[in-house]
Amino acid sequence: MTSFYVENFGCRATQADGAAIERQFEERGLVRAAAPARSEIVVLNTCTVTASADQDARAAIRRIRRENPGCQIVVTGCYAQRASEEVASLPGVTCVVGNSHKHRLAEIVVASSGRDERERITSQAGFVSLSSLMPEARSEIFVSDIFAHTELLAAPVFDGAGIGTSNDRTRPNLKVQDGCDNRCSFCVIPHVRGQSRSLPLSQIVSEVNALVSAGYREVVISGINLGRWGRDLATPLRFENMIREILDRTSLEKLRISSVEPMDWSDELIDLMANSPRIAKHAHVPMQSGSDRVLRAMHRKYRPWHYREKLQKIRAAMPTAAVGADVMVGFPGEGETDFEETRLLIEELPFTYLHVFTYSSRPGTPAALMRDQVPVQVARERNCILRELAARKKLSFMQSFVGKTVEAITLNVCDGKSTETLTDNYLKLLLQGQHQPNQWMKSRVEQVADSTLIATLAAA
């Protein structure tokens, strides 16, 4: 039987796409290999959000070619969609499948062993064949205009073999939305993922029920612009409708909501999260900048005061919730005053963690053409300042739990002596002793050591 291996890069949505690709192969009778070096087909499911994401994909192609020279290397995902010909020209790549054709990836790859079948698929797919453009190249490209596509590739990160058989199988990730209708000036995502589209409600409920039946207790729902879920459906719905349906029509114990844009944090959503013990107290609210001027240049739809108000509402409703954000430094034209406004807003707001990114110019975006690009060294320094600030805030949040009893779900056994666990409010604890994954444990937080919370089992 032909073996395959899927290696994912990037965000949660990409991981979910990777799981859907694995499902496609398994439905066609192929078997998962344990590692790329032991696989006949290796799929690299790439990201292109920054220049370094592209570099990571190229390094992976080189590594796999070195470790397993006989395998077929198939490159898919956002980098494949954005720069298909560049990817196809890399030594070792046998096939490039853009996001436009990712829902048919297994069909394309499996058929590539039979010429007639491949020709049938390619004639339907409207693909561009590199071999016809560059006769010396061996790779083929399956890519077309992403905005012409409305399919949504969706499968939970779901392990049919059972719970806990590999890393973090305890909290499957279910992608319910793809694409984005916003046009933030720095962001390449709409160009590689297309228009916003939603998984129908009935399918979400049945996927969640399948996960519950398989024994999963926590499910993470994700999307590219998750808060816009439902707006494109034949009968438009709101994100909150979906959350209520999951609570009403499944017995899922814990639902975790990944990132939701600031203006989609409605009072109703905040109330739902605050009042349901079945929704993890975890709000991730992308901020990007605290400068009005920079937010406008980024084409973000809110101003710093909107953002402040949302965060304050979230904190008032959920005093111990995890509150996180993505922040970007070094956007073109970001001056010292803009950066200081960002720093002060972060200082003021109740963040418990931050993801700090340095702006990376992406071809085809308006920001790439803006003058006044910030020198790399300045952007790096700003990044360090915000990371230090974030680390301080995170530490003080962690310290506020020392001596308290919390409930956490077990993830993986580490170092043979302790088990990594995760609380409702997104704190990772090292619980002393070995415990089975996917169990709720009452733990007493003993101390913070090396930026890690150490806990022991609480008395029953």
* φ, ψ of residue 259 in degrees (nearest 5): -80, 135
CB of 261 to ligand SF4, least distance (A): 6
Comparing CB distances to ligand SF4, the nearer of 164 and 194 is: 194
Sign of CA dihedral 333, 338, 340, 343: negative
CB of 269 to ligand SF4, least distance (A): 17
Comparing CB distances to ligand SF4, the nearer of 369 and 391 is: 369
Comparing CB distances to ligand SF4, the nearer of 158 and 239 is: 239
Could you list the residues that contact ligand SF4 (CB under 6 A)? 180, 182-184, 187, 189-190, 224-225, 261
Comparing CB distances to ligand SF4, the nearer of 13 and 108 is: 13
Query: Can you tell me the distance from the alpha carbon of 34 to that of 198, in angstroms, rounded to the nearest whole number?
Result: 32
Comparing CB distances to ligand SF4, the nearer of 46 and 419 is: 46
CB of 196 to ligand SF4, least distance (A): 9
Comparing CB distances to ligand SF4, the nearer of 189 and 220 is: 189
Query: Can you tell me the distance from the alpha carbon of 113 to that of 103, in angstroms, rounded to the nearest whole number?
Result: 19
CB of 93 to ligand SF4, least distance (A): 27
How is the beta sheet containing 218-223 ordered, strand by strand?
197-198, 173-178, 218-223, 254-257
Query: How far lies 272's CA from each of 246, 275, 307, in Å?
Result: 12, 5, 19
First to last CA, the chain: 50
Query: Can you tell me the distance from the alpha carbon of 176 to that of 204, in angstroms, rounded to the nearest whole number?
Result: 7
Identify the residue whose tokens are 């409600």: 201
Comparing CB distances to ligand SF4, the nearer of 45 and 421 is: 45
What 3-state class would DSSP assign to 30?
Answer: coil
CB of 369 to ligand SF4, least distance (A): 16
Comparing CB distances to ligand SF4, the nearer of 224 and 346 is: 224
Query: How far lies 193's CA from each of 28, 77, 98, 253, in Å?
Result: 26, 9, 10, 31
CB of 290 to ligand SF4, least distance (A): 16
Query: Can you tell me the distance from the alpha carbon of 161 to that of 215, in angstroms, rounded to the nearest whole number?
Result: 12
CB of 138 to ligand SF4, least distance (A): 34
Q: Within 226-332, where are the H helices? A: 239-249, 267-275, 292-297, 304-317
Tokens standing for 354?
């931050």
CB of 208 to ligand SF4, least distance (A): 24
